[in-house]
Amino acid sequence: MKVRRLLIEHFRGVINGSVDFSGHTLLVGGNNVGKSTVCEALDLVLGPERLYRRPVIDEHDFYRGEYLAENEEPIEIRITAILVELSDEARRRFRSHVRPWDEKTAQFVDEKENGASATAGTVWALPVVFIGRYDKEEDDFVGNTFFDHPAEGMIEDEDAELTLGGGRKPFGREQKRQCGFVFLRALRTGSRALTLQRGALLDTVLRLGGGGLSEMWKDTLATLHDLDPPIGEIPQLKAIRDEIDARLSSFVQLADVGDATAFFASDLTRDNLREVVRLFVAAKPGQHLLPFQRLGTGTVNLLVFALLTFIAELKDKQSVVFAMEEPEIALPPHTQRRVTRFVLGEMGQAIVTSHSPYVIEQFAPAEIVILDRGESGILTGVPVTLPGLKTKKFREERRQFAEAILSNAVLVVEGATEAILFPAASEVLEKCRGAQSYTHFDLAGVSVFDAGGDGAVPQYGPVFSALGKMSFGFYDKPNSSLTKDQQSKLGEYTKHWESPEKGIEDLLAKETGLKALERFLTQAAGRNDYPKDLGSLKPGASEADIRTLACEVLKKRKGLAHGYAASAIAECQSESELPPTVVSVLDEIEAAVTSPSQPTPSP
């Protein structure tokens, strides 16, 4: 079973929204765009234990905190999930509630215009809905999940429209377990996940692991009661008991002396044990058992993940819908990749949110959905499309694409030299002007994309335009005029610039301040990788000699590996020493990124 579509109304920061899922799905977007809201919405409608928390929802779960309309009538939160790829067992159990769904048009067959009938792309889908609202009579918030088909008439109730769900049949805990939904929140909840509290991961493992749960609690409580020797026989505690017996007996009729008071390890109730029992773990290098919450965040994260995979095994992992928030928290890159690969390879459907390129690069473009939510509160999810770009190219540059997808804007350049030059110049500009007057690339959320060669910048204009990104292109002066196709593709950028020189090294050598170039050549001559055959800067060299040598050195040591271009820029001690062309590009990018409205693409 998989989630095909999620509809959200009046929940958290979303007044209305729709997100489509295509198998494994990665949700990306800026902070507070709605990624966590989508995961929480899925948990409300599909999570077997979610509705047993109290309260189910509260004031802050309603859009802008508004749970009563102007006429004082309750406003409803509605979250609808459309489930497809139902197992034979699910189709049998839910046969009264499934509807024909057309994958080609992504809508129910009976909703099509002109009464269109089922086609070859038709599958059975199960729509379920969570409805929550404020109950004025109870002065409390109520919520439940229901089968959304048929929409009414399943419960005989003359006031069906007034009841929560409007007469729909409840979609209960046992039915939800058939969906196999597991939710790993960002590990803010790790402190509860590894306890035995109701609905926690350890409790879920116990329940799914088979029978004997009742006997386990009974036997454990009996063992604690009959500890030999009893805790109360500890000398210090026994002395206190004797004093209490002696003093209380003067005022209260107690049982026989010595048996009237006792100390036990807990309240000897199931619920108390759920609260106090803790998992202890010994991790290297200390190898001393500690309560799990005293371990490092990364270790706790992996413990929770390990439990979730165990739950998935118990549920038949290939039928599990596994939602996971920010798996990168406190995990090193190699572990992020390992966790993501495991989920994608082992789970029936993975729905993941992330800000990490190490996670994002594991997903194919068609599996990535970019979320957006404007001030109007309308949530949209747009799948990534890369027009004109071959899958092989995406795979080769997947790390760059991952960073670009996460960014607010993208600057596309022809090579590695430019890719390190612009961030370096942005850093110098920030130092010269101050952070209050200039926003550094990193803070503005601008990523630099290396197109990988002369003439390669135009092809990425349509790609980043399709991603909905503010995008910029900078390229060397070409040897021949651009073709109409190249000009058309460049027009897809928000703005693009042609360098006045045919090579970035020529631009740097010609426009960088003379004193900065002198400092650069002096420090470069002491590097082990300096091209000795070019010779070093001679005292009293002319401006022409300095600029010529700088150009030759930069060309000999171009690219990311040596970082000579960034070193030359770093020697600039004032804005006037920076290349004016580079400064102009940086200023226009900053103005576009930090302005309230996005500029229109350049012609």
Q: How far apart are CA 491 and CA 184, in angstroms?
A: 43
Q: Are residues 89 and 234 in the same domain?
A: no
How big is the CA angle at 534 (ends 528 and 539), to the nearest 5 degrees? 95
pLDDT tens figures, 22-66: 899 999 987 888 999 999 999 999 998 887 777 899 999 999 999
Q: Is 561 exposed, middle or buried (0-12, 13-18, 19+ CB in 10 A)?
A: exposed
Contact 348, 21 (CB under 8 A): no
Q: Are residues 563 and 460 in the same domain?
A: yes
Q: CA-CA distances (angstroms) from residue 483 to 9, 51, 247, 462, 488?
A: 48, 61, 101, 16, 9
Q: Are residues 8 and 151 in the same domain?
A: yes
In 10 A of CB 522, how many CB atoms?
12
Q: How far apart are CA 358 and CA 350, in angstroms?
A: 16
Question: Is 456 part of a structural domain of the chain?
Answer: yes
Q: How far apart are CA 596 and CA 603, in angstroms?
A: 21
The pLDDT of residue 415: 92
pLDDT tens figures, 338-380: 889 988 988 899 999 998 889 988 998 889 999 988 788 999 9
The pLDDT of residue 601: 43
pTM of structure: 0.79
Q: Are residues 54 and 105 in the same domain?
A: yes
Q: Are residues 150 and 6 in the same domain?
A: yes
Q: How far apart are CA 600 and CA 498, in angstroms?
A: 18
Question: Is 301 part of a structural domain of the chain?
Answer: yes
Which stretch of DSSP H or E encloses residue 449?
Answer: strand 446-450
Q: CA-CA distances (angstroms) from residue 182 to 48, 185, 318, 350, 475?
A: 9, 10, 12, 10, 48
Question: Is 374 part of a structural domain of the chain?
Answer: no
The pLDDT of residue 260: 78
**How many structural domains does the chain have?**
3
Q: How far apart are CA 156 and CA 148, in angstroms?
A: 16
Q: How far apart are CA 584 and CA 497, in angstroms?
A: 10
Q: Are residues 493 and 557 in the same domain?
A: yes
Question: Is 184 part of a structural domain of the chain?
Answer: no
pLDDT under 50: residue ranges of the chain: 157-161, 188-189, 598-603
Q: Are residues 564 and 418 in the same domain?
A: yes
Q: Helices 416-433 & 580-594, crossing angle to 10 degrees? A: 80
Q: Are residues 79 and 171 in the same domain?
A: yes
Q: Are residues 163 and 230 in the same domain?
A: no
- End-to-end alpha carbon distance in the chain: 47
Residue 84's domain comprises 2-22+31-177
Got the DSSP string for 248-285?
Answer: HTTTS--SSTTTS----SS-SSHHHHHHH---EE--TT
Q: Is the peptide bond before 229 cis (omega within 30 degrees of 0)?
A: yes
Instruction: Report which DSSP code applies to 56.
Output: S
Q: How far apart are CA 97 and CA 99, in angstroms?
A: 7
In 10 A of CB 530, how many CB atoms?
18
Residue 322: strand pairing partners: 182, 350
The pLDDT of residue 223: 92
Last residue of a domain, one of 294, 314, 334: 314
Q: How far apart are CA 501 and CA 508, in angstroms?
A: 9
The pLDDT of residue 524: 94
Last residue of a domain, one of 128, 162, 177: 177
Question: Is 518 part of a structural domain of the chain?
Answer: yes
Q: Are residues 135 and 205 in the same domain?
A: no
Question: Is 338 part of a structural domain of the chain?
Answer: no
The pLDDT of residue 120: 73
Q: Is 540 exposed, middle or buried (0-12, 13-18, 19+ CB in 10 A)?
A: exposed
Q: Are residues 471 and 567 in the same domain?
A: yes
Question: Is 336 part of a structural domain of the chain?
Answer: no
Task: Give the residue from 124, 140, 136, 128 showing the smallest Cα distance to 165.
Answer: 128
Task: Give the residue from 412, 542, 528 showing the smallest Cα distance to 467.
Answer: 412
Strands 321-325 and 495-498: unpaired
Residue in this structure with the two tokens 């939602």, named with its chain if needed? 323
Last residue of a domain, one of 314, 330, 357: 314
Q: How far apart are CA 366 and CA 23, in angstroms?
A: 10
Q: Are residues 579 and 444 in the same domain?
A: yes
Question: Is 349 part of a structural domain of the chain?
Answer: no
In 10 A of CB 571, how many CB atoms?
20
Q: Is 178 exposed, middle or buried (0-12, 13-18, 19+ CB in 10 A)?
A: buried
